Every structure is written in structure tokens, then in C-alpha cells.
Amino acid sequence: MTLIPALPAPQSNVALPAYALEDGKLRAAAEQLEATFLAEMLKSAGLGAPRDSFGGGIGEEQFGSFLREAQAKEIVAAGGIGLAEALFEAMKVRMDA
């Protein structure tokens, strides 16, 4: 059997170019905007709304927003609906101008 040599350890002293750092910040902002949009859409769809019977009590309505936000972030992490990419490209054009 042939052994595959181990990859070298990543070097932490390698500096990223400034534009790569800015792109990362822009992408994170775009993903946050998409997650916020999706959370509002989930709220409009009734996700996390209190149920009439066998509900979670008085705190269910308050904590429903946390559920929607967590699910929206997971949707974005799984690829989202493409809104983050469109927002990222639009912000990048504005930054480069």
C-alpha cells in the first residue's frame, strides 16, 4: 500500500491581501442581510407562532424569534436563496467604484 505524505501545517504568519479581508467582511454582511430577510419571511409564514393547544406557554412567542433566526442562518449556511451572492456582488461594485 502506498502512503500519502501528510500535508504541511498551515502557516499562520501568512498575511492575506487587503482586498481578501474586505471581501470576507462584505460576504459576511451580505449573508447577515440574507439571514435577516429569511427570518422575516419565516415569521410571515407563521414559523414560531404560538399554537392554540399544547403550546409552549407564555415564553413561546418571545423565543420564537430565536428559532427563526437560527433556522435562517442555517438556510444561509446551506447555500441560501442566492440573495447573499447578489448583495455581495452589488456591494463589491460599490466598493470598487
Q: For residue 56, is it within any domain?
A: no
Q: For residue 9, is it within any domain?
A: no
Whole-number pLDDT of residue 83: 94
For 31, the enclosing helix (H) or strand (E) is helix 18-44
According to the 3-state scheme, what is the secondary structure of the chain?
CCCCCCCCCCCCCCCCCHHHHHHHHHHHHHHHHHHHHHHHHHHHCCCCCCCCCCCCCCHHHHHHHHHHHHHHHHHHHCCCCCHHHHHHHHHHHHHHC
Q: For residue 51, is it within any domain?
A: no
Q: For residue 24, is it within any domain?
A: yes
Domain that holds residue 29: 18-44+63-96
Q: For residue 8, is it within any domain?
A: no
Q: What is the pLDDT of residues 22-51, one digit of tens each?
A: 888 999 999 999 999 999 999 999 876 666
Q: For residue 52, is it within any domain?
A: no
| Tally of domains in the chain | 1
Q: What is the pLDDT of residues 74-97, one digit of tens each?
A: 999 999 999 999 999 998 888 887
Q: For residue 25, is it within any domain?
A: yes
Q: For residue 2, is it within any domain?
A: no
The predicted model scores a pTM of 0.70
